Chains A and B, each alone.
Chain A
């Protein structure tokens, strides 16, 4: 049969954000895939060089809406390492609490989205209804449902009262019962299991070779988790297990994320019960001493890396973000080969894509000749944009 190339994206109902996947297919089987990024590029790394360290906290938060706390914490940890600050214990415990609540909210969101891509709309509605409990808890703690802004350089901004602690424990108890029901449902409902079992296989050696991160890696039976390998905040004091599955397919990824949900409930209860008394932050200097550092964090999607280089002033010299989805793209292309066209949305949704996190570079391709080019910004302005008068408000 002849090979044809079909584009999935940039606009497609299966994708929540624009990305272009060009698949070469033969009948209903995919032979090859090509990824083109850059549709969601916002110039955040460049913008961060013209804002102060304190203003950058809020810029980092807005890289992504679902994993906003991971980007802030990773950045703040890097700056604190540069300044040599020792954050008080209570501040670190509250940071861990919000991290785990964010992980719970992100995994419940993912479960709903995966069910929707598979056509199982009822599970989608149920998981998102239960996610409202976590969103309300986060609103009570931090003042907003998304973009919690609870971090500051040197600690956290808000404290937790006794009443809030009780509400959190009640919410976790309710969510635990619902998660056990979903585990049961996800693994025994025949149409859903038929859809996700055996789809998107990624063998263990390939997963390590292509540098997959997060639940995608853990579902291929590799027990790698930054919270255990390189503990930050207070993860070295909290007992928890790294969750793996050995089926190497989408069903394994569902199982890993649901197991992580249960572990997160245990971590939240431990943190609440053992919250030490004390200060929540220490004063940070406005000018950060010279140096460069790398900070790692286990976001709900995988390993998040921030690199900060400072030059003694109050604005960073270079800030680089490596989001986990960017590391999972090569693994996705491997998974798409020899799969069915009908499975494309599920395979892509199984890595939990957060495309706006991963947009750090734009490739300029000439549509007619297919050649890719490097152009300076002034060339682009001269060739494609004309000067317009803008009115100031």
Chain B
């Protein structure tokens, strides 16, 4: 019986099929909200109110011609999109959906799985750099270099901000952290600074405006994705969408008390909470213009990292004050 449940967990919900379908829904939501903020219509004609537009885009890209540059390494160039997709799908398995029993650790919920998720979410940056490097095109190389430079900016605040609630909850396991905050939700109010730092750092990780420097369309053509077309580009775009879902799921787990309840209630919880995080991401995307790479690194080391360190201090203080009460 548990084998059947594991198979359903891996392949259907919340595994492959659910992540595929939900990421296309989130892309539609993001595009529609972004368009309405700009007084436009957004996707409108494919399916009811344009909801099938991302699916149509994916299938259209699958049918397009696939070109590999002459001097590029065929094996690495072709396998990078698939490896990237595998990485983000694996990261999605650790989100605490459908976890009935917190006391028994299983293959997808164990001590330290928050670190595994954070590590898996930093690998796509390396994949982008390798994609840009192996395209042997000047614009792609420049994009790849920019991706790594940005990594030095946002990675530290993101880690500090996401680990602060874990310190208060006294556990490195996502399911336990969510459980802890479900029991005393008022402690979440102390994590507000960390929430904003994490959202801004997530926007930088997903390479959306104001941080879409690596694939700035008007400056370096396509950046890391210049030479990718057809099936490979379709997989890269799907990978970015799923990364958005997993990233906002991670923030919702740690800062918004996870997804309590049985299978159906936690499903509804997951959708509502991730849509809230994605709305904030779309709002930031519409409200700012792109900044230069040196300004971005400046900004993250002058503002984001000190705020994250301050959030760490607050977490330690909270833990010291409430320790007796919690015991």
Chain A residues engaging chain B, CB cutoff 8 angstroms? 4, 6, 12-14, 28, 115-123, 125-126, 129, 189, 191-192, 194-195, 340-345
Contacts and interface: CB of A to CB of B under 8 A. Distances in A.
Given A13-B221, A344-B219, A195 B290 contact: yes
Interface stretch (B37-45, B51-59, B103-111, B198-206): B37-45
A344 B221 CA distance: 12
Contacts of B37: 122
B49 interface: no
A345 B138 CA distance: 17
A119 B209 contact: yes
A341 B38 contact: no
A14 B218 contact: yes
B167 interface: no
Interface string B269-309: 00000000000000000111111110100000000000000
State the 8 A-B residue pairs at the shortest beta-carbon distance, nearest first: A119-B290, A120-B289, A125-B38, A191-B288, A14-B218, A192-B289, A119-B289, A118-B289
Contacts of B221: 12-13
Nearest to A192: B289
A341 B289 CA distance: 17
B290 A125 contact: no
B142 A341 contact: yes
Given A119-B210, A125-B40, A191-B288, 11 more contacts: A12-B221, A115-B289, A118-B290, A120-B289, A121-B286, A122-B37, A126-B39, A129-B39, A195-B289, A342-B293, A345-B219
Nearest to B286: A122
Contacts of B209: 119, 121
B282 to A, nearest CB: 11
Interface residues of B, number: 25
Nearest to B38: A125
B217 interface: yes
A343 B291 CA distance: 10
B212 to A, nearest CB: 7
Given A118-B289, A120-B289, A13 B138 contact: no
B138 A6 contact: yes
A129 B286 CA distance: 16
Contacts of B212: 119
Contact of B292 (A4, A12, A116, A342): A342
Contacts of B218: 13-14, 116-117, 119, 345
Contacts of A120: 288-290
Interface string B78-104: 000000000000000000000000000
18 contacts: A12-B221, A118-B290, A119-B209, A119-B210, A120-B288, A120-B289, A121-B38, A122-B38, A122-B287, A123-B289, A125-B38, A129-B39, A189-B289, A191-B290, A191-B291, A192-B289, A195-B289, A195-B291
Contacts of B295: 194
A113 to B, nearest CB: 10
Contacts of A123: 289
B216 interface: yes
Contacts of A115: 289
A346 B230 CA distance: 31
Contact of A4 (B138, B210, B216, B286): B138
Contacts of B138: 4, 6
A121 B38 CA distance: 9
B216 A126 contact: no
Counting chain A CB atoms within 10 Å of each CB, the highest count among B218, B286, B290 belongs to B218
A348 B292 CA distance: 17
A189 B287 CA distance: 9
A95 B307 CA distance: 59
Contacts of A344: 219
Contacts of B220: 341
A339 to B, nearest CB: 11
Given A195-B289, A195-B290, A341 B40 contact: no
A126 B290 contact: no
Contact of B217 (A13, A122, A191): A13
A13 B215 CA distance: 12
A314 B234 CA distance: 61
A125 B40 CA distance: 8
A225 B8 CA distance: 73
B54 to A, nearest CB: 19
A78 to B, nearest CB: 38
Given A4-B138, A342-B293, A14 B39 contact: no
A342 B289 contact: no
